[in-house]
Structures are given as C-alpha cells and as structure tokens.
Structure 1
Amino acid sequence: MGDYAVSAFNVAKFGGTSVANFDAMSRCATIIENNPTTKLVVSSACSGVTNLLVELALGVQNPNDRDAIFTELKTIHYSIIEHFSDQQKTKQAVDDILEILAGMAEAASFQSSDKLTDHIVACGELMSTHILTQLMIERGIQAVRFDIREVLRTNGDFGKAEPNIPEISALAQQKLSPLCQDYVVITQGFIGSDVDGNTTTLGRGGSDYSAALIAEAVKACGLEIWTDVPGIYTTDPRIAPKATPIPEISFSEASEMANFGAKILHPSTLLPALRHKIPVFVGSSREPEKGGTWIRQQVESAPLFRALALRNNQTMVTLRSLDMFQTYGFLAQVFAILAKYQVSVDLITTSEVSVSLTLDQTNTSGQAPELPVDARAELEQLCNVEVEHNLSLVALIGNKMSAKKGYAKQVFTALEDVNLRMICYGASPHNLCFLLESQEAKHAVEVLHRELFE
C-alpha cells in the first residue's frame, strides 16, 4: 500500500449547484485553474436537471407536458452556452443528446423501466460536461471531455449499480491516466456502464462516490468535493445557527457522520478514498476563500465531541417473547428470518424478554424503511411484533468516548425533558446514539449543540 499514491493528479468533483449556471461554472473553472495538480474534473448535472429527467423517466403521457420539460432543459443549458464566443459545437452536442432523450422519453410514456430510467437520467451529466469543457477551453485551458462510461464498469443492477473495482482500475490506467498528463479531463459523475455497454447509475448521491472511485483508479493524491456549503459543520446550521465548520476530521468520524445522516457526503463515498488513504477536501464552490474540511486518515486533534448528526424516518421493531428468558438461540432465529428477507439492521438493544432494533435506511428515497410483510408474519410465529414509525435518530460523534468518565451526565442532563426511546452506546468509541420521537429531534440537537459545542 505504501507505494500506492504514485500520481500527482488531484480529482475535483462539482455538484449540481456548483454547475447551475454560467457564473457558477465560471467559479468552478477558477478553482480548477488555481490548483495546477487538478487534472481530472467530475461534474454533476446542472442544478434541477436530474429532477426533470426523473420526471420524464417515470413516464409523461401528455406530449405538451413533455415539450414543456424539454423547453426547460434547453433553457437551462442554452443560457450557459450563450456566453460562449464559439457556441455552435456545444449547442449541437446538447441538441444531439436531447434528440436521443426525446425518443427515450416517449418510450417511457408507454412503459417505464429501471434500465430506461438510467439511460434517461444519465443525460444530465452528459450535457453539463460538454458545456464545462467548452467553458474551460474558452478560458485558454487545455481541456478535453471524456465519457466515463468507457472506464466506470459496473454490474447491471440499474439504479444502484455496483462498481467492478479491478476493471475500473485497469481501464483508468489504460484510458484516463495518459490523458491527464496533457489535459484537464472533464468527465461525468453518477454514471457508468455494464458489460453490455448499457448505461447504469450508482444511485442518488452517487456522483461523490463515482468521483472517489475514479480518484482511487487513477491513484490520485487528493479528492476535492465542491458543493454549496463550506465544509462539514458541527451540526446542520439550519437547526443550530451557531454550528461551525470543522477544519479537519478523521475518516472514521466522517464515516460515522455520513452513516448517521449528515447530508454532506454519500455514506459509500469515503470507502474508495479510505482504502488508499486519499485525503478528501469538502468546500463551497460559491465561497472557496472560506476554506473547508479536510478528511484524513490521521488528524492533529481528536476532541471528545466532534459533531451531531440527525437521521429522520426511522423504523423501530420491538420483539417480545417470554421464551427468550434464560434461553439461547432466540436472537439467532430472529436474525435468520431478517437475513432471509434481506432486512438490514442498524441499532439493537436487548432485555430479558424483548429486543428492539431499527431498520437500516437502504433505500435512496429517504422514506422510512419497512419490515416486509412476509418477514413480519414469520417473526410473529416466534414472538410478539411491534413496529413504530415517526422516530428520529440523533448521534453524538466524537473520540475515545468509552474511555472518558462523566460526560454522559452532561449529555443526559441536557436531554432531561426529552423522551428517549432507545439508547445505543459501547459498540463504537466514536458515537452515542439515541432514538426519539421525530417532533423532539430538532430540539434535542439544538440543546445538545448549545451544551456541548457552543
């Protein structure tokens, strides 16, 4: 592993709001110019475009409604292109994609499918990268557009495709790395292709993940994620206005934050970077001068309390059975049933005659996870089953929490007027989690932030 980081390339990823319009894209170009090691740029679709494409993919029956969406798509992209001195080539590239898209949107109006949806939603990134490449060229930068589908190989699980890491690495070394020697390469986030050449997507939020996969494949020295917030905050500033940006944070802390619902990074994003100790920077493309957060393997300071994360739409399942009392094998039976129905468990606490667990948020829609009907029926043959919704999870994230005496008193005193439904602590030295009614969640975060961070 020691000789892994052989290239001096930096990878920069820009989110949808960072490439929303001409001014936003120009700020991205300046950020790229200011770091000569940035040789690979991963771009999302322009802000708002993916939502319009998702609408088309779901099937718009009325041709007039479809035309209205196409007018909007054209307006978003043309309003950037009209600032160029050479407009024709880029307009043609966008028109070609829109023409293919029109045929797919019509097909979706008859019958939608996951495969067709991936082809449709990928068009946003395909268009934005044509535009960003031309903008760079007009600023005198040697830029070239690259179709990432030639490198980012995945399986055929449309909508949430799994990357084939060895193949991505081999293809990147062959096709991408040589280009980065001579050009600034502009490519797409979020999309890939399967072995048959079908377009696939990595799921919502997947452009951060694909940027990390690409950074890993070209053996990058760093990965920058440019978004609309200046780094990772101690908590959501909309809940606690005095929340502050964190200058640097360890991979393990950042992974905990992502896992527990901090919106800043897709939970899987960090994995490829973590595998090869590639430092990740998170900053605001709107205000790059404000700095941001570095996520590193090792950090200078590791405070007891680092951040608070909130995850809404939690589902708690409580299983009660007198047969549990002083017997063995009950939990094994429970988990065998959950495994059979592919139910992933997040938190768990047990008592003599009952076990409470929360279901892992695996769907990307953000809705509360459900216990499958058949799984519930099987569990009910074993014990009494109770399912509760409208719950939220608050996670206090920090370092060596299990080694520090007395801090729990501080935490629970702050929460004395909150009804805590479940507490999880001890499995990780990095977090203390509690489940509570959703209507109390923001108040709990606010109070904890005031007591522990301000």
Structure 2
Amino acid sequence: MRVFKFGGASVKDAEGVKNVVNVLRQTGHDGTLLVVSAMGKMTNAMEAVVDTYFNDRERLTDEIQEIVTFHEAILNDLFSSPQHPIFKKVKGLIEEIRGFLAWNKSPNYNFVYDQVVGYGELLSTTIISAYLNDVGIANDWLDVRDFIKTDASYRDVKVNWEKTQENVSKGIDKGTLYITQGFLGSDDNNFTTTLGREGSDYTAGILAYCLNASAVTIWKDVPGVLNADPRYFEETQLLHNISYREAIELAFYGASVIHPKTLQPLQGKEIPLHVKSFIDPKGAGTTVGKGKGISPQVPCFIVKKDQVLLKLSSLDFSFIVEDSISELFKLFHEYKMKVDLIQNSAISFSVCVDNKFGRLQELLQLLKGRFKLIHHEGVSLYTIRHFNEAAVASLQNGHEVLLEQRGKETLQLVVK
C-alpha cells in the first residue's frame, strides 16, 4: 500500500483537481491511499468563520457564503450538470457547519475551531472523490475520523496509536484506491479533533505506519526538499537524499516542507518518504530514508517569522537556576507558547517563542511581576544547518541581530 498526500496548493482550483488525475495516471493508483488537505486557502477561510462566530456574529453569514462561492466555482468547472449528486453532498456539508454553529453552546474556542475548520478537508475530499469516479478512477471515500483516534486536547491532540491501529487494520483493504482527509481525527466522544496546522503530512505518516506502507509521497509545488524556502531565499538547491535524522532536525527547526511529527512513525518502520512535484510527477524529487546526512552537503536555511524574543533577568540579581527555569517552562506550557530557542547565563534567560495561540499579553503581565523583562515582537528566527561563514554573513547583512547561538552543526540567529 502506498500513501500519497496532496496539500492545499495542489488542489486549489479545478485545474489542480484535474492534475491529481494526471498524477495518478502517470504513477498508477491501485493499492493507494490519498490523503488530501483543504482546497487552496480554505483552512484560513474556515478559521475566519470561527473568529467571526466568536467576535462578529453579524458577518457570519457572509463568511460562510465565501466558502460556498469558492467551492461552487470549482464544482461548476468540474461537473457538467448542476443535477450531479455532488452538488447536494456539498450543500449538505455546508448545512452541517451552519447547524453546528446554531446549536453549539460551548464557549471553548479550541473545541469550536476543531468542529468547524475540518470541513475544509471534508469538502475537498468529497469533491475530488466524485470527480475521480466520474473520470473512471474508481475510489472509496473514507472519513478519517473513523480511523485516527485522539485525546480531547483540541487543536493540540495526541494520537491513540492502539485504537488507530485497530481501526486501520479492520477498515482498509490494501488493494483499493481510497481518498481521505488530512489534519483530522476524533476523540472518544466522536467529536472532531485536529492534528495541528499543516497536519495532513502527519496524517499520511500515521496511516502509513498503521498500514505498513511501502512508501509515502508528499506532492508539492516545488521539485522536492530544497535547502531553503524559495519564498524567502533567492538561490536554492534541491536535496536529493536526506536521512531520517537530518530530516527530523530540519523539521524540528521549522522546515516547512515536512511536518515535524510526520517522520517519527515513518522512521519506526523505515518507510521511505518521497517529496515530489505535482507539476512534474516523473521528476526525481527528494527521498528521506536510512542514510547519513544530506546530499548534496550544503547549508540549509530555515526561517520562522513573527516570533517573540523574551529576555528575562531576576529582580534581585540572584541566579536563574533550575527552580526558576522550571517555573518559566511551566508558564510556557500553561500559556501554550512553543519554545524555539533558549539561552541562559547566571542572571538572565532568553527565549524565542511562537505565540500561535495568542496568549502572549496574558503571559507578559505575569512575567513582569516576577522578572525584569524585555521583549521583542515580530522578530525572525533563522536557523542554518551545516553553516559556513559565507552562509552566516548572508543573513547578518542588513539585519539587527538580537541573539546568536552556535553549535557544531547549527547556527541560530534572532533578528529584527
């Protein structure tokens, strides 16, 4: 069994959906499980619905209508008759969103987020499954929530591997072409949960592990894994081979091509991961598997934008040691701050964090009562794996460096 993952960019419009057919016809599709994300920027649109629901109810109808209009345009391009059953199915999914928001009584933002945002994937896979069947590629649509079981930590769940393995073993026939959703799971009460932003790669890894898959292929709009994100760096190189360990390091530091959690289940069963271009399905791409380092051996640049740098020191010039550091990390956990870099001296502690849950101001008020605090918002964290001085100089040029940390193979810079 192979697992193919198609992200939002690959199915952003009707032409993208048609190109999925092209990829399947070039690569074959028997015994393949397709994991598909929401179309285009629909996750952002679904998030806007949730924000409007909590903060501006008068605009809720308009936000939902944008989702309807977007998908209707794709339907009209893909299907010749408005009487096709897919139109009714899509309408039914939209009504489920409206229905949930009408009867929901929970004030928990993260719970509501998970119940609504996942409809992006449910819509995309329903449409693509119907189109594949129409063009002669028979497939079965699966609701991934029936397979991947998690705890109830909405937006930040942990997978119940035992239950998930049992469900996959019972419910998936390895000779069939399936299509299912990335990003989603469900808890013990069958409420929808999400695996974290960009979690569709992780879905592919989970299902591949449970299926003992022969390989996972992630189809992207780039030729493979590059040594830098072309959105931020002008000159990039294709990495042909990457070891599991090196790929996990790159993902940990924030490389956007591979989701940080994706590689762990694959490494456990030595399942190779291919990253290939949906524009050029026959291209070599990048293979992640057993081996040493990266090929070719070049510096790899990773950037995380919109980070927060906190510089803390004790009020009485006492040492910042185990007890105070332990207290700080408890606060970071409580306020859901993802720690990306730490540096400490005898009386100071610096940390670069990602404020993805929007609780920074609450945390700052608490910290100001316990420490001397300087903080910088909107900074960028650059990481260079296998750095050399030319690579370092290219980043320092024109930037104000607020913090630098060097290891044997990795350099990190926080810059304004």
Fold match by TM threshold 0.5? yes
Residue 89 and residue 35 in structure 1: after superposition, are their counterparts in 2 closer, same or farther (change >3 A)?
Answer: same
Q: Percent identity?
A: 24
Q: In the alignment, which residue of structure 2 is the partner of 1:261?
A: 254
Corresponding letter in the other structure for 2:413: F
1:300-319 equivalence runs, <5 A: 302=295, 304-319=297-312
Moved more, 218-227 or 137-146: 137-146
Q: In the TM superposition, what is the alpha-carbon distance from 1:19 to its structure 2 partner? A: 1.6
For each residue in 1:193-247, what CA deviation from the matched residue of structure 2 results, as whole angstroms up to 9, or x when unmatched? 1111111111221111111111111111111111222222121223332212222
Note the residue ranges of structure 2 that are not aligned, 5 or more in a row. none
1:143-292 equivalence runs, <5 A: 143-176=139-172, 179-181=173-175, 183-292=176-285
Contact (CA 8 Å) 1:425, 1:433: kept in 2 or not? Answer: yes
Contact (CA 8 Å) 1:57, 1:105: kept in 2 or not? Answer: no
Q: In the alignment, which residue of structure 1 is the partner of 2:376?
A: 388
**Rg larger in 1 or in 2?**
1
For each residue in 1:241-281, what CA deviation from the matched residue of structure 2 results, as whole angstroms up to 9, or x when unmatched? 22122222222322232233332222222222233222111
SS in 2 for 1:120: helix
Q: In the alignment, which residue of structure 2 is the partner of 1:12?
A: 4
For each residue in 1:262-318, what CA deviation from the matched residue of structure 2 results, as whole angstroms up to 9, or x when unmatched? 322222222222332221112222332444222223158555534111122232233
Cα distance in 1, alignment partners of residues 137 and 106 from structure 2:
44
Q: In the alignment, which residue of structure 2 is the partner of 1:435?
A: 414
Cα distance in 2, alignment partners of residues 311 and 301 from structure 1:
22
For each residue in 1:66-90, what CA deviation from the matched residue of structure 2 results, as whole angstroms up to 9, or x when unmatched? 5633541442442244247x96232
1:298-377 equivalence runs, <5 A: 298-299=291-292, 302=295, 304-320=297-313, 330-341=320-331, 342=333, 345-351=339-345, 353-361=346-354, 363=356, 372-373=363-364, 375-377=366-368
TM-score (norm 1): 0.79
Contact (CA 8 Å) 1:43, 1:186: kept in 2 or not? Answer: yes
SS in 1 for 2:258: coil
Number of positions where the alignment pairs a residue of Structure 1 with one of Structure 2: 406
User: Is residue 2:415 matched to residue 1:424?
Assistant: no
Contact (CA 8 Å) 1:350, 1:356: kept in 2 or not? Answer: yes
Q: Which of 114, 135, 138 pairs up with 1:139?
A: 135
Moved more, 316-325 or 144-153: 316-325
TM-score (norm 2): 0.86
Cα distance in 2, alignment partners of residues 186 and 431 from structure 1:
39
Q: In the alignment, which residue of structure 2 is the partner of 1:295?
A: 288
Note the residue ranges of structure 1 that are not aligned, 5 or more in a row. 1-8, 402-406, 438-454
